[in-house]
Structure 1
Amino acid sequence: MRASVLLSTLAMALVAHATSLTGPRTLVLLDNLDETDTYLDLWTDLEDRDYNVTLHDVSSPIDLSKNDQRLFDNLIILSPKMKDYPQGMSAKSVVGFVADGGNIIIAGSPELGNTLRELSREFDVEFDSRFTTVLDHFNYDQDLGKEKHDAIVVDPTTHMAKFDAIVPLEKVPGPVLFRGIAHYANPSNSLLTPILWAPQESYSWESVNLGESADQDPTISGKDISLVSVMQARNNARIAFLGSTEMLSDTFFSASAKRSGEDGVVSGNRKFIEELTKWTFQEKSALDVVAVEHHKVGEEEAPAHYRIKDNMTYSIYIAEYHDGEWHPFSADDVQLELIMLDPYVRKTLDQLPLDDQSTLGIFTTTLQLPDQYGVFKFTVNYKRPGLTYIESVTTVGIHPFRHDQYPRFISQAKPYYTSAASMGVGLLIFSFVYLWGGLESSAKSTKKE
C-alpha cells in the first residue's frame, strides 16, 4: 500500500504541470468580435496563467466536441444578445459539455436573450425579465452610475459569501462594481451557491422606463438579487453565472469605486474575477483521494475479510490542488461511515500532524467493527461548498465467529449455569434416596407379614 501511495503522488506531480486541472483550452463566445478590445485585461490575465484563449463570433460555426472528445476545456459565454447558438452548438451540446467535465462562465446583461435564459434554467438559475437592470439610489457609483444609478457599488465584506475556497475576502482589495441584470438561484438546489448579492436598498426594474412612474412593485429586491452565483455539478464540473458582462471589462477593472460622499478606491473587480475564474477553471480547491488503507490493529496488510468486533485502523490520504501544485489537505470534519444499507458506525477522522515535506493530508481513526456480519462499505463522503466532492467507497466483508471462536462460558449466563447444575445435583440426590434410601425397612416389613 505504501508503494501505491508513492506512485499516486508521483502521478499527481506529473499531471500538475498545467495551471488548470481540466486543461488550458478556453473558448470565448462574443456577440461580435469588435467587442474583443473591451476585455483586453481579461485576456491578458488568462494568458498569463497559461490558457489558450480562442475568441469566437456567434455567427460562425463551432464545435465543442468531436468523436466524443472535448475540443475545449473551458467555455466563457460573453454573448448575452445571442438569439441562436452558433452552427454546431446547441443547448444539449452545452449541457453535454458540462456532463463531460467542462467548465462554463455565463455572463448576462439587461439585453439577455431567450437562448441563454433557457440554458441557465437547465442549471436552476432564473434571470429577471429582459431590459431590467439592478438599480440602487444609495449605493451607486458617482462616475459610472451617475445618470441612472445602475452601476452599483457592492461591499464584499457584507455582501459576499464567506467561502475562502471560492473567492477569499482578503484577495478582493476593494468594492465590486456591478451593472447588469438580476438573477435568482434556486435555494433548494444544494449544488448552487450565491457568491455576491445586492445591497438591501437595491431593486430590479425596467431600464427602458426609468423616467416613467412605477405602477407596480419590483419583482425582486434586496439580498434576494443574486449578482454572481456558482454551481458545482456532481461530476465536479463548475459553472459560474454573472449578471453583468461589464464586470469583466477593462473599464470596470480599472475604475475607481466611489459612492456619494466617499473617497474613491480602486475597484476589486479584477481580483474578484481572477479568483472566480481560478475556481471555475479548477485552478484551486480541487481535492483528490490518493490512497486508502485499512487493516487490523497490530497488522499492516489489509485482510481478506474482517470478523465482527475486530479492532481496525482506517486511513485516507487526501491532497488539495492550488497555485499549480498539490498540497496536503487540512480539515477537522472528514468522517468515516460503515454502511450496510444504513450507517452502523460514523466517526470523525483525526488528521496526522503535517511536516514540511508532506504533500498529502493523512486522516485516520481506530474503531471496533459492529456486532453485525455482512458486506459493509467503508465510505468517506465529503461535500463542502467550493471544494470538489470526495466519495471514497471501499467494500469489505465482515464474518461472524466460527463455532470454535465463541467463548466457552459467558458471564451473563451464570444464572442458567447455576440452574442447570442445581437440577443435576437434585436429580442425583433424588435418585439415590429413591433407589437406596428406604430399601432395608421395606424388606423387614415384608418378612413379618
Structure 2
Amino acid sequence: MANLWILIPLLALFAVVAAQVNATEKKVLVLLDNQNIKDSHSKYFKALTDNGFELDYKQADAASLTLFKYGDRLYSHVLIFAPSVEEFGGQVKVESLANFVDDGGNLLIAAGQNLGEAVRELTAEFGFELDEDLTRVVDHFNYDSKLDDGSHTALAADASLLLKAPTIVGASSSKNPLLFRGVALLPDKENPLILDVLRAPSTSYSYSPTRPISLFPAGVGRNIALIGALQARNNARVVVSGSLDFFSNAYFDAAVNGAISDDQKAATKSAKSGNEELALALSLWAFKRVGVLKFGKVEHHLVGEKNAPADYTIKENVEYSIEIFERKGDAWVPYGGQDVQLEFVRIDPFVRTKLVRKEGSKFVTTFVVPDVYGVFKFNVDHDRLGYTHLFSTTQISVRPFTHTQYERFIGSAYPYYLSALSMIVGAFVFVLTFNSFKDEEVAATGKKKD
C-alpha cells in the first residue's frame, strides 16, 4: 500500500510531462513581415488551426523572439512568412534557426519579392540558393492571363511537375495547375537530402523581368525548383517555397486561365488552382503529421517457440517480428509498406530477407542462422522517400555446435573410418601371423630361443 501512494504522484507527473510534450508538438511560431499577411493568408492559417496546430504570431524582427528556454525548444515548428526581413529579432538568428533544426525542429520558409538577407542566408544553410534580388521566374508560355501583370511572372505550373511522392504532396492531391509568383530556388545538386517538390516548366528561366537579358540566366527550365524540401539525418524537415503568394487566399481561390500543360501543350481554362491542397499537404508533411514511422514490439525466437534465447546456434531456424506504425494526424496506424527488409549482420550482412506483413502492424520473417559464429545484429534499416528514417537493431550471439550436438558418424569421414579400421585389422593379422611363425619354430627345434 505504501508503494502505491508513491506510485500515484509519479504517474501524475509523467502524465503532466506527456501532456506538455504533446502540446509543444503542436506549437508553431509564425514570423511575419507585417500583420496584413494574417488577412491575406487567412485561409492557410485556418487550415493549420483546423488540423490542431497552435499558431503564435510574431513580427519577424520583434525584440522578444526566442526559440529555446532552459535548453528546451519552446516550439516544434517555425513558419517564416517574412521574405523581406533583413535580420531576425531577439535571440532568433540564422545560426539559432539552424540549431533549431539540428535539435529536431521543423521549418517552413516562404520567399518572395523584396528578398532580405536573413531569408537568403537561412535557405542557403539547407542547400537552397535563392537567385539574385529583383529576379523572378519568368515563363512566356505557362502563365496565368488574369493574374499576370504583363511580365509573365504569374506562372501556372502543371501538376505533372510535382515530385512523385504522395506522402509529401498529398495522396489525393489536385491535378489542377499550380499558381506561383516568386524567386527561383537553385538547389545544391551535391546534397543527397534535397528534394525538388515542384519544378519549373521547361520553358521558364530566372531573370529580372524589367531588364533585357544580357547574361545567361542562373536558372533555366527544370534546373529551377519552385518549391524544395529537405529531410535532415535527424528526421527534421525543412520546406522552402520561392513564393509567398503561393499560400495566399487569392491564389487558393483563383481559377487558372491560360495555363498550358508542359506535356500535352493543351490549354486549361478556368480550373481552380491546386495551391490549397498542395500547401496543406506540404505543411502536414513538414510539421510531421504524416510520413512519420516508429517501431513497437520487437521479438525473435526459434521457430516453434515463444521466448528469446540467450544465444543461437548455427543452422537453427529463427523467427523475427517487428511492429511498425505510421503517423496520420494524431493517430498511429499500421504501416502499409510492402518492402521492409531485415538484415542479419556481423560487420556485413550474412542474411537479407523481406519482412512480410501479417495481421495489423506486425512484420514477420523466418531464416536459417548462417554457419558462421560471432556477435550478430538484427537490423531493420528502412529509408523511403517521404518517410522518416526507421532503424531498429537487436544484438545476439551465435555459437558453434557443442561436442554433444555433432553427429556420431559423419558421412564425409567414412574414408577415414575405413582407414582406421584397416589399420586395426592389419595390426591384428600381423600379430597373429607373427605369433604363429614363432610357435612353429619352437615346436620344430624342441627348445625355446633366447
- TM > 0.5 between the two? yes
CA distance in 1, matches of 2:18, 2:279: 23
Distance 1:278 1:337 in 2: 32
Matched with 2:249 is 250
Alpha-carbon distance in 2 for matches of 1:146, 1:375: 68
Q: Which residue of 1 aligns with 2:147?
A: 144
* Cα drift, residue 169 of structure 1: 5.5
Q: Do the aligned partners of residues 368 and 317 (structure 1) sit closer, same or farther apart at CA in structure 2, a change above 3 Å counting?
A: same
| Corresponding residue number in structure 2 for 1:307 | 313
Does structure 2 retain, via aligned residues, the 8 Å contact 1:105–1:241?
Answer: yes
Q: What are the equivalent positions in structure 2 for 1:365-376 lying under 5 Å apart?
A: 365-376=365-376
Partner in structure 2 of residue 112 of structure 1: 115
> Structure 1 residues 311, 245: CA separation in 2 closer, same or farther (over 3 Å shift)?
same
Q: Which aligned pairs between 1:155-304 and structure 2 lie closer than 5 A?
A: 155-156=158-159, 158-168=160-170, 170-209=172-211, 212=212, 214-259=213-258, 262-304=268-310
Alpha-carbon contact 1:63-1:89 (below 8 Å) kept: yes
Matched, 1:47 2:53: no
Q: Compared with structure 1, are the counterparts of its residues 436 and 117 closer, same or farther at alpha carbon in structure 2 (3 Å cutoff)?
A: farther
Q: Shift in Å at residue 348 of structure 1?
A: 0.6
Tell me if 1:135 matches 2:138.
yes
Superposed displacement of residue 291, structure 1: 1.0
Distance of 1:137 and 1:150 partners within structure 2: 8
Normalising by structure 2, we get a TM-score of 0.88
Distance in 1, Cα, partners of 2:35 & 2:44: 15
Residue 318 of structure 1 corresponds to: 324
Are residues 287 and 340 of structure 1, via their aligned partners in 2, closer, same or farther at CA, if it must alter by over 3 Å? same
CA distance 1:171–1:433, shift in 2 (3 Å): same
Aligned residues: 423
Aligned mates of 1:258, 1:32 — CA distance in 2: 30
Deviation at 1:441, TM superposition (A): 5.2
Q: TM-score, normalised by structure 1?
A: 0.88
TM-superposed CA distance for 1:446, in Å, is 9.9
Q: What letter corresponds to residue 257 of structure 1 in structure 2?
A: V
Residue matched to 1:8 = none
**Residue 61 (structure 2) aligns with:** 59
Q: What displacement does 1:52 show?
A: 1.3
Shift, 1:443, TM fit? 6.6
Name the CA shift for 1:435/1:129 in 2 (closer, same or farther; >3 Å). Answer: farther
1:83 matched residue in structure 2: 86
Q: Show the counterpart of 1:357.
A: none
Structure 1 residue 288 displacement after superposition: 1.3
Q: Tell me whether 379-388 or 86-95 shows the greater mean CA deviation.
A: 86-95
Higher relative contact order (CA 8 A, sep 6+): 1
The CA RMSD measured in Å over matched residues stands at 2.4
In the aligned structure 1, how far is the partner of 2:320 from the partner of 2:286? Answer: 33
**Larger deviation, residues 179-188 vs 38-47:** 179-188
Structure 2, unpaired ranges of 5+? 1-15, 260-266
- Give 2:353's aligned residue: 347
